[in-house]
Amino acid sequence: MTRFATGAEPAGPAAEPDSNRDEQAVSHAVQSMFNGIAPRYDLLNHVLSANVDSLWWRRTARTFAPILQNPQTAVLDMCCGTGDMTLALLRYRPGNARPVIALDFSHAMLERAKEKFSSPEFSAHGVISMEADALHMPLPDNSIDLITTAFGFRNLANYESGLREMARVLRPGAQFGILDFNEPGGLFGKIYNLYFRHVLPRIGKTLSGSSAPYEYLPQSVHRFPQPEEMLTMMRACGFTSASWTPYTFGIAGLYRAVKA
């Protein structure tokens, strides 16, 4: 659900790996942050990423093109935010395809996504906007053929619960793709970490008036499992063919797996 920005409030419990608050409190704090940042979310993301985030969404959608091109495929874009990943998916959907479900628990973000879905370029494609928690999706068991989520899974209050909920709604043999940030290693990783933790908050404060959202971002990335740990968790939750493909020197990457 987030890429380079998260919320207008100070870093909440989702950014604190040792927080003693329960998952409901974590979810509420993250939800409030996204509702706060929604009006300037897209502008800040594109400026801070030099628009490289657009390349990541397109690459992810292209990865699943063979599945998306089947008009009968049931597709869910989970934690859709303002809808950019959903739009990337729609470019591969035929005109007579089943509607893509775009799900997010931030009302303000979803409202901005709806504006994009109604544009002339995409209005012919069917999109079902659904305001719901990704940990408790109002979808039947074994009903979805493909789940994507771009920069939103990292913000869930419980990663294992998120994977198990995805496993519940996916059909056997169906796939998912999680596009999210990573902490790269080596010299490049050290340089990038310096920018991420010290320069980015200052730029964000200049553009938005608050550095808090950009302080939250590196904290949330730091608490996110490293690729090997994430792949192990995916397998433990009932998925096979688990893989991770790094994007842009490992700054981000795509996790993929198949429901057993």
Distance of CA 26 to the CA centre of its chain: 17
Give per-residue pLDDT as tens, 22-36.
Answer: 777 767 777 776 666
Domain-embedded: residue 112: yes
Q: Quick one: average pLDDT of 7-18?
A: 34
- d(CA 237, CA 91) in angstroms, rounded, equals 31
Lowest average pLDDT, out of 44-58, 132-146, 166-180, goes to 44-58
Those residues with Cβ within 8 angstroms of residue 138's Cβ, 6 or more apart along the chain or in another chain: 130, 132
**Res. 38 pLDDT band, cuts 50 70 90:** low
Domain-embedded: residue 59: yes
Please say if the pLDDT value at position 160 is more than 90: yes
pLDDT of residue 50: 66
Encoded tokens for 26: 């974590």
Concatenating the DSSP letter of every residue in 121-188 gives TTTTS-EEEEE--TTS----TT-EEEEEEES-GGG-S-HHHHHHHHHHHEEEEEEEEEEEE----HHH
Expressed as residue numbers, the domain containing 255 is: 42-183+227-259
Please say if the pLDDT value at position 149 is more than 90: yes
Q: Identify the residue whose tokens are 């920018």.
A: 195
Q: Quick one: average pLDDT of 109-125?
A: 88
pLDDT of residue 35: 64
pLDDT of residue 36: 66
- d(CA 177, CA 162) in angstroms, rounded, equals 13
Contact 48, 204 (CB under 8 A): yes
Q: What is the CATH number of the domain that holds 95?
A: 3.40.50.150
The CA-based dihedral angle spanning residues 218, 223, 224, 230, taken in that order and rounded to the nearest 10 degrees: 150
Domain-embedded: residue 67: yes
Beta strand pairing call for 252-259 and 170-181: antiparallel
pLDDT of residue 124: 73
The most confident of the ranges 4-18, 115-129, 198-212, 235-249 is 235-249
Give per-residue pLDDT as tens, 49-102.
Answer: 667 889 999 999 999 999 999 999 999 999 999 999 999 999 999 988 999 999
Domain-embedded: residue 99: yes
Q: Identify the residue whose tokens are 């729609």.
A: 90
pLDDT of residue 196: 79
Contact 104, 1 (CB under 8 A): yes
**Amino acid sitting at position 154:** R
- d(CA 70, CA 72) in angstroms, rounded, equals 5
Q: Identify the residue whose tokens are 């390349």.
A: 55
- d(CA 247, CA 245) in angstroms, rounded, equals 7
Q: Identify the residue whose tokens are 């790094």.
A: 246
Given 3-state DSSP classes, what are the helix, strand and coil percentages for the chain, each rounded to the nearest 5? 45, 20, 35
Beta strand pairing call for 144-150 and 170-181: parallel
Those residues with Cβ within 8 angstroms of residue 149's Cβ, 6 or more apart along the chain or in another chain: 1, 77, 78, 79, 80, 85, 134, 176, 177, 178, 179, 180
**Res. 256 pLDDT band, cuts 50 70 90:** very high
Give per-residue pLDDT as tens, 211-250.
Answer: 676 777 788 888 999 999 999 999 999 999 999 999 999 9
- d(CA 142, CA 74) in angstroms, rounded, equals 11
pTM above 0.95, yes or no: no
Domain-embedded: residue 207: no
Domain-embedded: residue 197: no
How many domains in the chain? 1
